[in-house]
Structure 1
Amino acid sequence: MSLLRVVGRPMLASMFLAGGLESVRNPREVAPAAEPVVRPLVDRVPVLPDSTEQAVRLSGAVQIAAGLLLAVGRMPRPAALALAATLVPTTLAGHRFWEEEDPGRRAQQRIHFLKNLSMLGGLLIAADDTGAAPSLLWRSRHAAHDLRRDARLVQRSLRAGARPASAVGRVRAALPR
C-alpha cells in the first residue's frame, strides 16, 4: 500500500470521526438545523427513523463506523461511499449559506459548504481508488477477453487438425476396397 494512502485515509476520516462522535453524543444540538433535510428524506426512505434526533444519531454512527474502516484501510471503497452518502445531507442541513442574511455568516457558511464539497470530492476519489489492484470491472473485461482468445485458439487448432484428417478421409475413399 502506498504511503499516501496510509497517511491520507486517516486524515480524510478524522473529520468524520469527530463529527460522528459529536452527532451521536449530542444530537439535540444538530437536530434543529437537520430538520429541513431529514424530514423529506424520512418521507422518501421508510427505513430511516422518524425522529430527527435519531436520524442524526444514525448518521453519526455511520460516520464513526465508516470513518474507522477508511482510517485503517479496511473496505475503504465502501466506507468512502458511506461517508459520501452521509456528507451530502449533512452539508445541505448545516451549511445553507444561501439562506444567511448577515454577509459575515454567509461567507463563513459558504467556506464550510465548499470545504464539505472538497471532502466529498476526496471521498469519491477514495471510493474509486483500487489501491493499485485492478478493479472487478477491469478483471471481468480481461477475463472475457482471455476466454474469447482461448476459444479462437481452440477453433484454429480444431480446424488445423481437421484438414489433414479430411485429406486422409478423401484418400481412403478413393482407394479401392
Structure 2
Amino acid sequence: MRPVRTAARALLASIFVVDGIRTLARPEARAETARPLTDRVTPLLERTDPRLPTDPLTLVRVKAVADVVAGLALATGRFTRPAAAVLAAGLIPHTATDKGDRDHLLKNLGLLGGLLLAAVDTEGRPGLRYRTTHAVDRSQRSVRRAVRTARREAKIAAASAAAARKLPG
C-alpha cells in the first residue's frame, strides 16, 4: 500500500506545486481575481495584527508559497497530514474566488476530498486518539492489578502476623 500512497500524494500535490510556481511567476492576474475576497478579509487582518500584509498581491504570494511548500511536503512524504490540512485550508478561499464554471468547482471539490483523506490518513498505524485511549485503558488495568496484588499481599501479611503471634516464643 505504501507505493500507492506515495504516488497518490505526489499526484495530488503536483497541481498545488505547479499552480503555486505559476502564481509566484505572475501574481498580478491572481491578485485581481482574489481582490473581492481580500477586500473582505482586510479589516479582519488589520484588527488581528496591523503588521500583517493586507494588499492582495502579497496575500496571493503568501498563499502561493504556502501551496508550494505544503505541496512539496505532501509529495515527499514529510509532514503529510499538516501539509494536506494547509492545502485544504488554502483551497477553500481559492474555490470561493474562482469565477470559473461548474467543472472548476467540481475539480476543486474533488481536490478538497483528496486532501481531507490525506489529512486524516495514518498510513495504517493507529491514530493519536486510539493510542491515547488504549494507553489510558492499559494504565487503568495496571492500577487495578496493582491494587488487587497489594490487597492480596496485605491479607497474606496479616495472616502471617496472626500466625506468628500464636507461635510460642
TM over 0.5: yes
After TM superposition, which residue ranges in structure 1, 4 or more long, deviate above 6 angstroms? Answer: none
* Counterparts of 1:129 and 1:42, CA distance in 2: 34
* Counterparts of 2:164 and 2:42, CA distance in 1: 82
Q: Do 1:24 and 1:58's aligned partners in 2 also have CA atoms closer than 8 Å?
A: no
Q: Give me the identity figure in percent.
A: 38
User: Aligned residue pairs: how many?
Assistant: 165
The reply to whether residue 119 of structure 1 matches residue 140 of structure 2 is: no
Give RMSD over aligned pairs: 1.7
The reply to whether residue 56 of structure 1 matches residue 48 of structure 2 is: no
Structure 1 residue runs of 5 or longer lacking an equivalent are 96-107
Structure 2 residue runs of 5 or longer lacking an equivalent are none
The 5 A counterparts of 1:15-164 are: 15-45=15-45, 46=48, 48-95=52-99, 109-164=101-156
2:104 partner SS: helix
Q: Do 1:49 and 1:55's aligned partners in 2 also have CA atoms closer than 8 Å?
A: yes
Q: Which amino acid aligns with 2:57?
A: E
* Counterparts of 1:90 and 1:7, CA distance in 2: 25
CA deviation profile, 1:9-37 (whole Å, cap 9, x unmatched): 01000110111111111111111210111
CA deviation profile, 1:30-59 (whole Å, cap 9, x unmatched): 112101112222322345421101101110
TM-score by length of 1: 0.86
TM-score by length of 2: 0.89
Pairwise CA distance, 1:64: 0.2
